[in-house]
Chain A
Amino acid sequence: MVRTLTAYTNGRSVLLMLLTGVVYFVSARLGLLLAFEHTNATPVWPPSGIALAAMLLFGHRVWPGILLGALLANMYVFHSNQAAELPVITAMSAFISVGNTLEAVCGWYLIRRYIPGNRIFVQTGHTFIFILIVLIACLVSSAVGPLAVSMAHVVSWGDYPLVWFTWWLGDVTGMLVFAPLLLAWSKPLRFNWSWRKRAEVAAAYLLVLCIGSIVFLCDSSSDLMFVQPYVLICLLVLAAFRLPHRELFTCLLFISFITVWGTIRDMGVFASVSQHEGLVAAQLFVLIMAITILSAKAAIDERRHAVDSLTEAHRELQRLMAERTNNLELSRKRLAEQQRRMEDLLAVMLKNTILDFSARAPVSEKGDELDALAVGLNTMAEELESYITRLKDSEERYRLVVENVKDYAIFMIDPQGYVLTWNEGARNIKGYSAEEVIGRHFSLFYTKEEIERNEPEYNLKMAMKHGRFETESLRVKKDGSLFFADIVYTPLYDSAGNLEGFTKITRDITEKKRAEEKIIRLNVELEQNIAQLEMANKELESFSYSVSHDLRAPLRAIHGYTKILSEEHKASLNEDARRMMDSVMANAVRMGKLIDELLAFSRLGRKELVKERIDMEALAKEALREVKEARPEHKADIRIGKLAPAHADPALVRQVLINLLSNAVKFSHAVSSPAVEIGSYTEKGEIVYFVRDNGVGFDMKYYNKLFGVFQRLHAREEFEGTGVGLAIVKRIITRHGGRIWAESKPGEGAVFYFTLPNGKAD
């Protein structure tokens, strides 16, 4: 309720409502001028169409305007005509206006209910429904109105059917003429027409007005008068084909107006005795015209719309077809081009299959799969071409190499053993030329005995079993002579694993065999010699041992008794005898020493070398300590430099160092400031140890005697010693596989160098 009130307080709604009321009132007033005998039943009733249009355009809320307009118009007309007392007039008018309002509401409701949207007059079906709704809605008003006036005795009940029909006809005609017209004009005006269109509309208006005037405003006595309305129908139907709704409905209004106007003025085709009858006839004409035009227009529009849709669909179809055709054409062209490119590629592939890799597939700028394929194909062909070239070169080189090998017979035989190839070496070794031997069986090269033993077949079988077979055996040359051969058989298989044949490489090893035999013979002899030598050596050593031992016993006796003589019989000896006794003893001692050293020297040969890593500096210090103990009187400045470690027998190397240091100290004893140095250096990857002194030195022309046993370069009176020390040193160094040498000049000192192999390994 509140909502409804709020809706009515909306200014625009009220305004529309009032506008509707005023328009309704005015048009009702005009319509009622033509009412039937003060009954307010008029055959011309535009308000019914105005009310329906207002409801449809502005909404159902305008109904109070309609009610008010209708009430006031009826009351005013009844009152002017003095049809009845005021209360009756008021009651009648109230009934009638309620009927009018209900008529509009009913029409509005049914249209809204059964015709979707606002497109009432463009579809035949909707137009027919509209007409039907109008016919039904007007029953409401025509049911209420005549009943009211009849009950008020304004008309007699006998006139009731006429009044009812007039009422209904007026409402229907008003609705069918004015509602479509107002709805059409309510749409926004558009004047984008061509001149032709405008001329056509103007011509239509003119024609309708003229013919309408002729039909309805001329003298009714004309003979052809009754025909003329049909001309108007024909004209309007034609107009329906050409004019838009608004102009067409305007034409209908013109005709309707002229018809009513002419009939009222007793002119035209419907002029008759009674103005009311004439008006009813005229309104019927208008009604028929309106129904015809509405239907025709809807049918025409529908058809045109269908044609337009069809045309549009057709155009769309054509456009699509054109597009498709175009696409198809493009596809066809593309396909044709791709086929051409595929053919190019196939041509290249075909060449490749016959191992011709010179051809290249064309590559377009497109960069598609075919191009990728072409590039791939080209790369493959290039690589294969270069590979085949290399392979051919390599094969050619290999063939040349094989053919020109002179020291090896290299040839191929087929799986059955028939010679296939022959090289220079084969010719040299076996004596056959290629022409003589190719095609012959390889058992040709075997001796009779070997052929009888099935040696050729056995050799091939072994080669197949092991992948390779090597043998050393006697073979036959072309001239029948034999040679000792080293032969290698290798089976050859193709990629499928089928045996293709064998390669046979033969080398003449007769000379080698002879040399080997000689070496073996020499080795045996050598071994025998060595054994003999070793035996001799052992005998010698055991001899020298027993000699030494046996020599010592008499020496001890000589020394012992001489000593007793010189001590216990001192008194009975004169000075000269005593001196001779001393000499005998000294010599016995010295001889003992000589024997000891000789024994030590010979023992060196027997001793096993026990090699280990030696810290040479520590060993030198130890040796020096011993030398100093043995020679406490020495005054030499002895320096031990950097000494590389060695890998040798420590006891023996110690002896070497003792002997060399002892010599150095001994022979430098006489000089004013004796100096001895021991050190090492690396030369050509070899470690060289040295012992240097600034002593008396020696003359290099006696160098060959330097390392000899019992060889002395100095007088014994000058420097004591047995002459075995350096011989022992040399023997030890030599046994280690090293070298020893010395450099000196008389009076300028001496340097002794030695090396120990394996020393560098550490």
Chain B
Amino acid sequence: MKEFEIILVDDSPEDTDLALRELRKCNLVNSIRTFENGQQAYDFIMEHATDGIPRMVLLDLNMPVMDGLEFIQRIKADEKTKGIPIAVLTSTTELPDIKESLRMGVKSYIPKPIVIEDVVKIAVDMGYHIQIVRKD
């Protein structure tokens, strides 16, 4: 799963679309795999995760089936996956949940709507060497 270096989990197709459109602005777009809820993302990670992969999970909190907090809890509970960096996608409406996620070990968050600079900045903070190549 080398090509899927970033996982985006969000139940809103518009938000996902807009995020992909934003990310499409740079060369990262082909490395992104999206899921509609935590369960799908979790199942995928459990099946495919290997050392250092995925590089990053961009996670919405308010989702059906399995919400973001439960997802974090499960990922952090598993020895194999607990090292995966997670960045929470926030809207200003979810302050308590953001705090809770930080308490559970999440180190970064990105306010919605996603702007490419934010993602790159966090990736750099996490130690990745990412170079953005603007297409426009």
Contacts and interface: CB of A to CB of B under 8 A. Distances in A.
Interface of A: 545, 548-549, 552-554, 556-557, 559-561, 564, 592, 595-596, 599, 603
22 contacts: A552-B91, A552-B92, A553-B12, A553-B14, A556-B12, A556-B14, A556-B18, A556-B113, A557-B12, A557-B14, A557-B15, A557-B18, A560-B14, A560-B21, A560-B113, A561-B18, A564-B18, A564-B21, A592-B92, A595-B93, A599-B93, A603-B95
Which A-B residue pairs are the 5 nearest by beta carbons? Answer: A557-B14, A560-B18, A549-B93, A596-B92, A552-B91
Q: Is the interface on chain B under 10, 10 to 19, 20 to 34, or 35 or more residues?
A: 10 to 19
Interface string B65-98: 0000000000000000000000000011111000
Interface in B38-57: none
Given A556-B113, A595-B93, A599-B93, A549 B18 contact: no
B112 interface: yes
Nearest to A560: B18
A540 B112 CA distance: 26
Q: Which of B18, B62, B92, B95 has the most CB of A within 10 A?
A: B92
Contacts of B94: 549
A548 B94 CA distance: 10
A556 B93 contact: no
A556 B15 CA distance: 7
Contacts of B15: 553, 556-557, 560
Contacts of A559: 113
Interface of A is mostly: helix
Contacts, number: 42
B62 A549 contact: yes
B44 to A, nearest CB: 24
Nearest to A554: B14
A493 to B, nearest CB: 70
Contacts of A553: 12, 14-15, 91
A360 B86 CA distance: 108
Contacts of B18: 556-557, 560-561, 564
Q: Which has the most chain B C-beta neighbours within 10 Å: A553, A556, A557, A564?
A: A553
Nearest to B61: A549
A464 to B, nearest CB: 65
A400 to B, nearest CB: 71
A549 B92 CA distance: 9
B91 to A, nearest CB: 5
A556 B93 CA distance: 12
A599 B93 CA distance: 7
Contacts of A545: 93
A556 B113 CA distance: 7
A161 B103 CA distance: 173
Contacts of A554: 14
B14 A552 contact: no
A549 B62 CA distance: 9
A114 to B, nearest CB: 144
A595 B15 CA distance: 18
A334 to B, nearest CB: 109
B62 A556 contact: no
Nearest to B97: A549
B112 A556 contact: yes
Contacts of B92: 552, 592, 596, 599
Given A553-B12, A599-B92, 15 more contacts: A545-B93, A548-B93, A549-B91, A549-B93, A552-B91, A552-B92, A556-B113, A559-B113, A560-B15, A560-B18, A560-B21, A595-B93, A596-B92, A599-B93, A603-B95
Contacts of B95: 603
A595 B91 CA distance: 11
A585 B12 CA distance: 20
Contacts of B112: 556
Contacts of B62: 549
Contacts of B12: 553, 556-557
B57 to A, nearest CB: 20
Contacts of B91: 549, 552-553, 556
A556 B91 CA distance: 9
